[in-house]
């Protein structure tokens, strides 16, 4: 059995590795192999996500940096309003490029996989191929536009800027997020002397002004003795949720079915949860010696509602703090203080981040 995968982004490589691990042949068709290699992008992996990657022999903890605690701040206030400090670990951080390159290198050594570079978008022609399953991870090809164009969309009218700051050595295992008047800024440690920054900017006057953005980052990075700020990379922030996950034998996957606000760093964790469910469904069919009939319908039924609710949860958090900062809503601080002292609610929020719905 040979599976077709469209795209060579991180999601495409992830699902391809899962498939070849099952002894399946995979044909990857792609256009721009360098498009996904982001130098300053990092990925937050929940404990559950990393457990799955380790079980599938895709990625291990040795390539990650452990985050033991998360502190949330409102504006320039030095006193945190909410803190997560579980007994084991909050989550892990790794470089986007490290995960991408490791999976790509592993796949290139595997004789079950073949890479085909396309000169143009001919994605529609794959409907006429004899592949039992086609997994489309491209968000803007002709196949997506024709059969997966019904989506719930929201334009946040903001831009995310990412960079890496190099600083003096310190015990660096606490992630911090500041909800500022410009938008949320996250500081995500990746070593004792490097920290990833994700700045989701709402202020129209600040978007595009890279010197000012660097100054704002330094303003809130007061605990770091900064030596260098890498070049800024940016991407628009949108919410999109596909109304259908499959068409005939084509499964839309990854960002093609859900994009969320980077506020909580959960986008790729959603994809890993999808991959875990898809992996188990395919394995069940293989164990019984059956074809993959019914897998796509069952996958949509099992993941669509969960992904929808999870995305709305992240959207609610974003809108709550956006309005709180804009209008200084009465009783917000009192509610947040109550939340910080309620371990039961905090545990549920941690489970939400780790497992989703």
Domain assignment of residue 190, yes or no? no
- What pLDDT score does 227 carry? 96
- What pLDDT score does 324 carry? 73
Domain assignment of residue 94, yes or no? yes
Domain assignment of residue 201, yes or no? no
Q: How many domains in the chain? A: 1
Domain assignment of residue 85, yes or no? yes
The separation between the first and the last C-alpha atoms of the chain, rounded to the nearest angstrom, is 33
Whether 37 shows a pLDDT value over 70: the answer reads no
Which tens digits make up the pLDDT trace of 154-168? 999 999 999 999 999
Which tens digits make up the pLDDT trace of 46-71? 999 999 999 999 999 999 999 999 99
For the ranges 57-61, 75-79, 219-223, 245-249, the lowest mean pLDDT is seen at: 75-79
Domain assignment of residue 77, yes or no? yes
Nearest CA to 139 out of 302, 273, 7, 313 is that of: 7
What's 45's domain CATH number? 3.50.50.60
For the ranges 127-136, 158-167, 216-225, 329-338, the lowest mean pLDDT is seen at: 329-338
Whether 34 shows a pLDDT value over 60: the answer reads no
Domain assignment of residue 25, yes or no? yes
Whether 325 shows a pLDDT value over 60: the answer reads yes
Please, which pLDDT band fits residue 89 given cuts at 50, 70 and 90?
confident
User: Which residue range(s) make up the domain with 290?
Assistant: 2-154+237-349
How do strand 233-242 and strand 183-189 relate by DSSP bridges?
A: unpaired
- What pLDDT score does 38 carry? 57
């Amino acid at each position: 059995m040979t599976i077709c995968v469209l795209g060579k982004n991180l999601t495409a490589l992830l699902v391809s590795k899962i498939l070849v691990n099952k002894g399946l042949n995979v044909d990857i068709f792609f256009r721009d192999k360098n498009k996904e290699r982001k130098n300053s992008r990092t990925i937050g992996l929940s404990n559950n996500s990393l457990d799955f990657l380790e079980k599938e022999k895709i990625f291990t903890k040795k390539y990650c940096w452990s985050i033991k605690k998360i502190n949330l701040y409102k504006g320039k206030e030095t006193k945190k309003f909410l803190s997560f400090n579980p007994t084991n670990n909050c989550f892990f951080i790794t470089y986007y490029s490290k995960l991408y390159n490791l999976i790509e290198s592993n796949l290139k050594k595997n004789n079950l996989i073949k890479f085909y570079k396309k000169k143009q978008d001919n994605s529609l022609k794959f409907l006429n191929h004899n592949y039992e399953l086609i997994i489309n991870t491209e968000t803007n090809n002709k196949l997506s536009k024709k059969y997966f164009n019904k989506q719930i969309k929201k334009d946040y009218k903001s831009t995310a800027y990412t960079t890496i700051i190099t600083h003096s050595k310190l015990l660096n295992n606490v992630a911090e997020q500041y909800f500022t008047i410009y938008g949320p800024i996250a500081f995500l440690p990746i070593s004792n002397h490097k920290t990833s920054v994700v700045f989701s900017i709402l202020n129209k006057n600040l978007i595009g002004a890279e010197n000012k953005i660097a100054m704002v980052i330094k303003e809130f990075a007061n605990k770091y003795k900064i030596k260098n700020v890498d070049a800024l990379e940016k991407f628009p922030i949108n919410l999109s949720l596909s109304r259908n996950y499959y068409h005939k034998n084509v499964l839309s996957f990854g960002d093609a079915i859900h994009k969320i606000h980077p506020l909580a760093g959960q986008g790729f964790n959603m994809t890993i949860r999808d991959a875990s469910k898809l992996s188990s469904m395919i394995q069940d069919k293989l164990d019984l010696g059956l074809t993959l009939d019914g897998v796509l319908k069952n996958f949509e039924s099992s993941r669509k509602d969960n992904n929808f609710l999870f995305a709305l949860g992240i959207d609610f958090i974003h809108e709550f703090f956006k309005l709180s900062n804009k209008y200084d809503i009465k009783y917000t601080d009192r509610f947040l203080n109550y939340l910080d002292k309620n371990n039961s609610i905090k545990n549920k929020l941690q489970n939400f981040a780790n497992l989703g719905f």
